[in-house]
Amino acid sequence: MADGTMSTSPPNTSDSQEPATAEQILEVYKRMPRISTSRFGRNKDKSPLYLQAVAALRAVADKERTSDLVFAEVYAPLWEVGFARAYGLTKTTKSACLRKLFGKRCGSAGHRYASKFPDSEGFPCHPPGCDHPSLWYKDGKPYAFVYHPYGLRTDEIIELGKLCERLDLNVEIDAVSWHYPGKTISVTLTHKLSRENDRSANA
């Protein structure tokens, strides 16, 4: 490498357990085919650490095709902790059930009231399209039901809208999803009233 004949391929990390040094990664990055990152302009003066991270992630993408897992591994705990801190919430370790947001008991250990078959009053255990759910508490009371599907279909979106209207729920869907960052979306259900109380308290 010292003779200036460095190849443009990523550091050869598969033959040994030694990771490339930061300097090696940076040199590789400089010689990589350029991919425009101008739309990520927030960090225009990219630091050496930033460039090393890009090069390392690119190397993993090229060699092992697991760069999405690397990203997810870093961001899953950061985003989950960030969500908890932003709203002052703690996650229940028990099975997540939407009914508990309304002070109702779960129908059974197996979530008897699925989204398609709610109880006679219309309270389901799980909302439409539910996958990877969790229930979050604030001041000892159920506050938010969050789930992380890989996507939502038309019928699920429509049913979710109807459910929110009927039960006076607020829904927010965004990409900051900590179940599998980069692959899933985050759907957060809260009572409209509790969110409004938050806003007035923060005003």
Among 106, 114, 152, 176, binds Zn ion (CB under 5 A): 106
| Residue 125 binds Zn ion (CB under 5 A) | yes
Nearer to Zn ion, 125 or 146 (CB): 125
CB of 133 to Zn ion, least distance (A): 10
- Annotate the chain with DSSP letters as a single string: -TTS---SSPP--SSSSPPPPHHHHHHHHHHSPP---TTSGGGSS--HHHHHHHHHHHHHHHHTS-HHHHHHHHHHHHHHHHHHHHHT-EE-SSPP-GGGGGTPPPSSTT-SS-TTS--TTS--SS-TT--S-EEEEETTEEEEEEE--S---HHHHHHHHHHHHHHTEEEEEES--SSSTTT--EEEEEEHHHHHHHHHHH-
| Residue 135 binds Zn ion (CB under 5 A) | no
| Residue 111 binds Zn ion (CB under 5 A) | yes
| Size of interface with Zn ion, in residues (CB under 5 A) | 4
CB of 111 to Zn ion, least distance (A): 4
Among 20, 60, 89, 97, binds Zn ion (CB under 5 A): 97
| Residue 58 binds Zn ion (CB under 5 A) | no
| Residue 130 binds Zn ion (CB under 5 A) | no
Q: Which stretch binds Zn ion (CB under 5 A): 69-77, 111-119, 145-153, 194-202?
A: 111-119
CB of 87 to Zn ion, least distance (A): 22
Binding footprint of Zn ion on the chain (CB under 5 A): 97, 106, 111, 125
